[in-house]
Amino acid sequence: MNFAIAVYAAPYSHQSPDTAYQFALAALNAGHSITRIFFYHSGVFNASGLSIPPQDEINIIERWAQLSKKFDVELAVCIAAALKRGIIDEAESRRYELTQHNIHPAFQIVGLGQWVDAMITADRVLVFGP
């Protein structure tokens, strides 16, 4: 089965990002595929390259990055939601003449069209969030 997954909640403020990760990992380990994992609304904070949790807590951002690398899954971040919340990649930093960017390299900023495409091509669509 092919899944499209959306994550709407920020890490460490809601259980849903970790639940989405656990589902994605289990599905991929069971031989299923994931078209795209789309981070929307406050879920874009999962893409922050500056988040450093305490040593006794999980690092959900690094978990997403490892999952993406191991299974070649796209971690897509909604551009409108990201810009509004200060999650910026290098290209957007240049476009808005900013001096820095902060998105984790495993994630990429995309338009809402990529989420629509994922929903069209997936067998099942799952949304994790408040």
CATH architecture of 2-128: 3-Layer(aba) Sandwich (3.40)
CA distances from 31 to 36, 48, 121 (A): 15, 29, 17
Given this model, what pLDDT does residue 90 score? 94
CA distances from 52 to 11, 34, 48, 61 (A): 11, 27, 9, 9
pTM: 0.95
Given this model, what pLDDT does residue 73 score? 97
10-residue block means of pLDDT along the chain (130 residues)? Answer: 98 95 98 97 96 92 98 97 96 94 97 95 96
pLDDT of 84-119, one tens digit each? 999 999 999 999 999 999 999 999 999 999 999 999
Cite the active site residues. Answer: 78
**Secondary structure class of 32 (helix, strand, coil):** coil
